[in-house]
Amino acid sequence: MNNAVNFEPYSAKELETDQEIRWCPGCGDFAILKQVQITIPKLNIPRENIVFISGIGCSSRFPYYMNTYGMHSIHGRATAIATGLKVARPDLSVWVITGDGDSLSIGGNHLIHILRRNVDVNILLFNNQIYGLTKGQYSPTSELNKITKSSPVGTLDNPFNPLALALGSGATFVARSIDKEARHLQKMIERTHLHKGASLLEIYQNCNIFNDNAFEVFGNKTSQKTNAIFLEHAAPLIFGDKEDALGIVLDAYKPRVVKMADGYSENDLWIHDEQDIFKAQILARFFDTEDFPRPFGVIYAREQISFEKAVQNQLEQEKVQKSNIDLSVLLAGNQTWTVN
């Protein structure tokens, strides 16, 4: 089903549906929906070939607001459903909308396996570090000691580092963005689509009702400068104020933040290489301590045959190998006898 030939361009507006949007006013989900609706028309995918699949959670209402094909499924299983759909229909552009509870708690198993298999599905993980739909319990990405409705005296479980988990699962595309950075988010959505294989884009999303400002340090233009670093392939790791620029150097495998003013040039710095898994592992660890800025952008991207493609190749091979076997031959098997 190659519809690319009679592709009719459509606008962001045409991707909207007549369904009333049920998110709380001010929720970060609105911004993400908007960036998706702005970006997708630029990707040259026929609208009918796009499928959004979600699980359960605030963000998972998303498919109802996209005028494409869609399925709002059950908690945690969107990645598994998307796997089946993409394998059955490699011609479709399949997107998963999921949250931190949906994909890292109840659906954790399916997330690591879709990444390991490298199914060409675009996973947008809306991370708000809280359970919103069930009204404010801590999630698997909530920080330690967090006070929530279900942890009035503080949480005791360590949060997941989603990107390190993804890399550990063998993901071939891992990126991070944030609801407040419209342009960056658009670019990341596009990259997510362009990658042929499982792509995980973690999006920091503000839940202004139950976990307001959880990512403020990364979203606020001032604090962002020293707390976030926006990665570019082949560019040095540099951040901070223009006047007071900071850089990251790599001593053997140990990263270190340096002041550019201390006599460092860009040539001394760590140059980002999206395809370097070892460096990606270190970048993903800019999470555990506050010594390093939080990286945004494509942390890792490496092309590798996608699962559904491998499945199709194997089917084709078998069809050629066993072209003489039709259903009647199959049903008869190896040994038959005839009664007259």
Residue 21 touching another protein (CB under 8 A)? no
Q: Is 45 in the site for another protein (CB under 8 A)?
A: no
Residue 58 interacting entry, from ligand SF4, another protein, none, C-beta within 5 to 8 Å by type: ligand SF4
Residue 3 interacts with, from ligand SF4, another protein, none (CB under 5-8 Å by kind): another protein
> Which residue lies nearer to another protein by CB, 235 or 329?
329
Closest CA to 301 of 149, 225, 187: 187
Closest CA to 116 of 299, 304, 315: 304
Q: What angle do CA 305, 36, 294 make, to 5 degrees?
A: 75
In the complex, minimum distance from the CB of residue 129 to ligand SF4, in angstroms, rounded to a whole number: 10
Which residues of the chain form contacts with ligand SF4 (CB under 6 A)?
Answer: 23-24, 27, 29, 58, 128, 132, 207-210
Rounded to whole angstroms, how far apart are CA atoms 67 and 140? 31
Among 45, 82, 104, 260, interactor with another protein by CB under 8 A = 82
Question: Does 13 sit near another protein (CB under 8 A)?
Answer: no
Closer residue to another protein in complex, CB, 64/264: 64
Q: Which of residues 103-162 bind another protein (CB under 8 A)?
A: 109-110, 112-113
Helices 182-194 and 28-39: crossing angle, nearest 10°? 50
222 binds, among ligand SF4, another protein, none (CB under 5 to 8 A by kind): none
* Region near another protein per CB under 8 A, out of 35-43, 166-174, 293-301, 308-316: 308-316
**Read out DSSP for 2-45?**
--STT-----TGGG--SSPP-SPTT-HHHHHHHHHHHHGGGGT-
| Distance from C-alpha of 46 to C-alpha of 5, rounded to nearest angstrom | 10
Q: Which of 16, 67, 238, 285 binds another protein (CB under 8 A)?
A: 67
Any contact of residue 339 with another protein (CB under 8 A)? yes
Among 9, 26, 43, 91, binds another protein (CB under 8 A): 91
When CB distances are held under 5 to 8 angstroms depending on the partner's kind, the choice from ligand SF4, another protein, none that residue 319 binds is: another protein
Start-to-end Cα distance in the chain: 49
* Interaction partner, residue 141 (another protein, ligand SF4, none; CB < 5-8 Å by kind): none
How far apart are the C-alpha atoms of 34 and 280, rounded to whole Å?
29
- CA-wise closest residue to 257 among 238, 274, 273, 281: 238
- Return the DSSP state at 279: H
Residue 83 site contact among ligand SF4, another protein, none (CB < 5 to 8 Å, cut-off depends on kind): another protein
Report the alpha-carbon distance of residue 275 to residue 273 in Å, rounded.
Answer: 5
Contact partner at residue 146 from ligand SF4, another protein, none, CB < 5 to 8 Å by partner kind:
none
- The Cβ of residue 200 has, within 10 Å, a number of other Cβ atoms equal to 32
Least distance CB 39 / another protein (angstroms): 18
d(CA 133, CA 117): 30
| Cβ closest to another protein, residue 213 vs residue 317 | 317
- Minimum CB distance to ligand SF4, residue 81 (Å): 22
> What three-state secondary structure class fits 251?
strand
Query: Considering beta carbons, is residue 120 or 179 the nearer one to ligand SF4?
Result: 179
